[in-house]
């Protein structure tokens, strides 16, 4: 088991190296940061001097090696635009994104699994069919449109909820949280629904189809034949067996909630890392972009690792040690 | 002795777009305590369907449309679903065909037995676990105490079928419905399972409905045998009589085509044609298009079960003088 985890961590490190390389080399094509930093009134000497200070004249491989060497020490360089350490800027922005992603993830998971089970058990019921039809909206409408529609309805027409920002936040030792103030909580509602709706409908449809599949199996028939209650059959026997594929997809989806919060953060002007990334692209702020991509890939890789470990927890057949005797 | 199970003109129908199918048609038989009734027939003859109807696990849209099912003198086919659920596992145990798929892969065998016991008997969790271990010992699982916490995948096919039998018997039911319990097993294991099932049911006085298409299993285990053809009962009687002195032409054909059942015969015979499909049932006796003894009236009236010996449903049954072994 430990060997397995170590092997997975080693593989993860290789993935991160490759992602870093790809990200770093891509940025060579997004434009010259010097243009944005110096403006119109520059001389060729200024340009050369700045290139030299930023290390942009060195060969690509050297730049990448330096970047990696610094990155493992938690130093992602200075933002070209803000002139502050990237790590500091990211730390400042990360809580907003992580809180938003966490709320969206919880919403997506709880409603997705709950509704998925419901629509599978009441397969032919009116409510289940209505939910399935409505879920098409979640799957097919683009995120930004859902966000704009929600803003139009709840902020513009009804005036119930704020349309942008995080509201009041409380600083807890460097971590700013919106969970502790009423306005912070209110501000979370629309963005988290926007961000989580697609994942929720996806999880729901997946749980439903897996559940329908499992309900047809022999061991479910046998569980019924043993006189177990519907609740035990559905939740103890059936739901657990739907979990392996659900964990796979959910893990990847939670990763993408964090990674692609960009759109939601733009629509709601949410001060998270996604918005930071969009601004960094506009300014060709390479250190920020690189750090953001590295951060996201660390999260993806981490989530994948957790997913693999969850498989083993859920499915005893994947555990080497329990197969004793045969 | 009052029968444990009594079917009286049991009829199961499936409404379809092309008319109503009748996979079980007016079937009547009794099973007394401690008796093993073999139910034999080709696939599609309605033998499993009758078993599923008894425990109330027919797949929609199939349903009981006529006749009665009595268990220990109480009618059970008209019970509400919750009433039937309480009977399942407690009064009627079930053994399925494929032990590889009838156990939930994600729960230990001990948990699956204990949950069944807890559902039906007023015992504590610890007591249920002790009983689970005892049940495993009783079906011949070596080192039951060590293996009670193993998952199904750690057991071989034959061992898993023993676990399934332990599950079916753990709440001490009055009746066990064994649906092709040996079909999916290795030949070498089949006999062991049959001997085990027979011994346990004899010891407890449990009545058994042993559904199979294997005449060898019937000859080995059953006291009486019911031969089904196209949803109807063709012949019923003590095993030795039916095998050696069949009265129904279909039974005679079946015995003639079974290796080992008809000693002293040089060649196996075959019955011309195939069993009619449920949506193309001939009028009168369902067997008459294939019957070597058909005569006037066979294509008009379905024959009732009658003489000689009140065994066969045939207008022109074989007589004592025609016995194969005479």
Q: Which residues share a beta bridge with A283? A: none
Q: Which residues share a beta bridge with B226? A: B39, B236
Are B176 and B222 in contact by the 8 Å Cβ rule? The answer is no
Q: Is a pLDDT exceeding 90 seen at residue A306?
A: no
Q: Tally A–B CB contacts below 8 A.
A: 89
Give kind and range of the element (H or E) at residue B160. Answer: helix B157-169
Domain range for B212 is: 5-228
Chain A CB contacts of B154 under 8 Å are 322-326
Q: Does B320 map to a domain?
A: no
Q: Does B101 touch chain A (CB under 8 A)?
A: yes
Q: What is the C-alpha to C-alpha distance for residues B217 and A302, in angstroms, rounded to an integer?
A: 56
Percent of chain A with pLDDT over 90: 2
Q: Does B104 map to a domain?
A: yes
Residue the block writes with tokens 């007589």: B319
Query: How many independent structural domains does chain B possess?
Result: 1
pLDDT digits (tens, 9 = 90+) for A51-108: 777 777 777 778 778 777 877 777 777 777 777 888 888 888 888 888 888 888 889 8
CATH of domain A86-320: 1.10.3720.10
pLDDT at res. A325: 38
Q: What is the C-alpha to C-alpha distance for residues B274 and A29, in angstroms, rounded to an integer?
A: 74
For strand B175-179 and strand B92-95, is the pairing parallel, antiparallel, or unpaired? Answer: parallel
Are A210 and A183 in contact by the 8 Å Cβ rule? The answer is no
Domain residue limits, chain A = 86-320
Are A119 and A128 in contact by the 8 Å Cβ rule? The answer is yes
The ipTM of this complex is: 0.85
Q: From the list A218, A232, A236, which residue is nearest B102 (CB)?
A: A218
Tell me phi and psi for residue A171, to 5 degrees: -95, 115
pLDDT digits (tens, 9 = 90+) for B246-298: 888 888 888 877 776 555 556 777 888 888 888 888 888 888 888 888 888 88
Nearest Cα neighbor of B326 from B248, B266, B245 is B245
Lowest mean pLDDT among A191-205, B78-92, B262-276, B285-299: B262-276
Q: What is the C-alpha to C-alpha distance for residues A38 and A41, in angstroms, rounded to an integer?
A: 7
Q: Does B304 map to a domain?
A: no
Q: Does B29 map to a domain?
A: yes
Average pLDDT of chain B to the nearest whole number: 86
Token digits of residue A241: 């067996």
Mean pLDDT of B57-67: 87
Number of Cβ within a 10 Å radius of residue B220: 17
Q: Does B83 touch chain A (CB under 8 A)?
A: no
Q: Does A324 touch chain B (CB under 8 A)?
A: yes
Buried b (16+ CB within 10 A) or exposed e, B152-164: bbbbeebbbbbbb
Q: Is a pLDDT exceeding 80 seen at residue B323?
A: no
Residue B96 belongs to domain with CATH number: 3.40.50.300
Residue the block writes with tokens 């942009």: A56
Q: What is the C-alpha to C-alpha distance for residues A326 and A201, in angstroms, rounded to an integer?
A: 42
* A interface test, pick of B84, B86, B98, B106 with most A CB neighbours within 10 Å: B106
Q: Is a pLDDT exceeding 60 seen at residue B27?
A: yes
Measured between CA atoms, how close is A112 to chain B, in angstroms? 22
Inter-chain touch B57–A225, beta carbons under 8 Å: yes
Q: Does A236 touch chain B (CB under 8 A)?
A: yes
Are A80 and A283 in contact by the 8 Å Cβ rule? The answer is yes
Are A227 and B120 in contact by the 8 Å Cβ rule? The answer is yes
Mean pLDDT of A25-39: 69
Q: Is a pLDDT exceeding 70 seen at residue B310?
A: no
């Amino acid at each position: 088991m430990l060997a397995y985890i170590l092997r997975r961590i080693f593989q993860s490190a290789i993935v991160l190296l490759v992602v870093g390389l790809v990200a770093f080399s891509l940025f060579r094509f997004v434009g010259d940061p010097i243009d944005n930093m110096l403006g119109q009134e520059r001389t060729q000497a200024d340009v050369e001097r700045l290139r030299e200070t930023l290390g942009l004249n060195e060969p690509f491989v050297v730049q990448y090696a330096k970047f990696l060497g610094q990155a493992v020490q938690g130093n992602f360089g200075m933002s070209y635009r803000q002139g502050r350490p990237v790590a500091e800027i990211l730390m400042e922005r990360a809580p907003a994104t992580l809180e938003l992603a966490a709320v969206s993830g919880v919403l997506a998971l709880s409603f997705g699994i709950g509704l998925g089970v419901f629509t599978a058990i009441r397969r032919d019921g009116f409510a289940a069919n209505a939910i399935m039809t409505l879920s098409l909206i979640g799957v097919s409408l683009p995120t930004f449109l859902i966000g704009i529609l929600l803003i139009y309805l709840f902020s513009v027409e009804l005036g119930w909820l704020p349309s942008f920002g995080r509201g009041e936040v409380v600083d807890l030792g460097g971590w700013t949280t919106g969970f502790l103030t009423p306005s912070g909580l209110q501000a979370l509602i629309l963005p988290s629904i926007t961000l989580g709706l697609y994942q929720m409908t996806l999880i729901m449809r997946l749980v439903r189809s897996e559940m329908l599949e499992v309900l047809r199996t022999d061991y479910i028939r046998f569980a019924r034949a043993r006189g177990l209650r519907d609740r035990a059959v559905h939740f103890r026997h059936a739901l657990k067996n739907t979990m392996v594929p659900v964990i796979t997809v959910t893990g990847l989806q939670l990763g993408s909630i964090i990674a692609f919060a960009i759109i939601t953060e733009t629509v709601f002007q949410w001060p998270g890392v996604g918005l930071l990334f969009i601004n960094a692209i506009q300014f060709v702020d390479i250190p920020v972009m690189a750090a953001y991509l590295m951060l996201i890939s660390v999260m993806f890789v981490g989530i994948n690792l957790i997913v693999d470990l969850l498989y083993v927890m859920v499915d005893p057949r994947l555990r080497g040690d329990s197969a004793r005797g045969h | 002795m009052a029968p444990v199970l009594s079917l009286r003109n049991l009829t199961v129908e499936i409404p379809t777009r092309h008319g109503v199918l009748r996979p079980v048609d007016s079937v009547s038989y009794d099973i007394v305590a401690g008796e093993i009734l073999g139910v034999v027939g080709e696939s599609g003859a309605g033998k499993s369907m009758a078993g599923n109807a008894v425990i109330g696990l027919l797949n929609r849209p199939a349903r009981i449309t006529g006749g009665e099912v009595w268990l220990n003198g109480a009618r059970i086919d008209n019970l509400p679903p919750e009433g039937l659920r309480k009977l399942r596992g407690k009064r009627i145990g079930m053994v399925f065909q494929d032990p590889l798929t009838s156990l939930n892969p994600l729960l230990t065998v001990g948990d699956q037995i204990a949950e069944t016991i807890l559902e039906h008997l007023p015992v504590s969790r610890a007591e249920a676990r002790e009983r689970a271990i005892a049940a495993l010992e009783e079906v011949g699982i070596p080192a039951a105490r060590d293996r009670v916490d193993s998952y199904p995948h750690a057991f071989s096919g034959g061992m898993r079928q023993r676990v399934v039998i332990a599950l079916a018997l753990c709440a001490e039911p009055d009746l066990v419905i064994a649906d092709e319990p040996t079909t999916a097993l290795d030949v070498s294991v089949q006999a062991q399972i049959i001997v085990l099932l027979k011994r346990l049911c004899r010891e407890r006085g449990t009545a058994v409905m042993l559904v199979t298409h294997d005449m060898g299993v019937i000859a080995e285990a059953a006291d009486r045998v019911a031969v089904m053809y196209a949803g109807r009962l063709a012949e019923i009687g003590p095993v030795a009589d039916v095998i050696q002195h069949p009265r129904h032409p279909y039974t005679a054909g079946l015995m003639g085509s079974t290796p080992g059942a008809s000693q002293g015969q040089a060649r196996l015979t075959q019955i011309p044609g195939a069993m009619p499909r449920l949506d193309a049932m001939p009028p009168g006796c369902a067997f008459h298009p294939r019957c070597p003894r058909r005569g006037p009236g066979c294509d008009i009236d379905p024959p009732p079960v009658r003489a000689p010996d009140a065994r066969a449903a045939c207008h022109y049954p074989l007589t004592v003088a025609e016995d194969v072994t005479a």
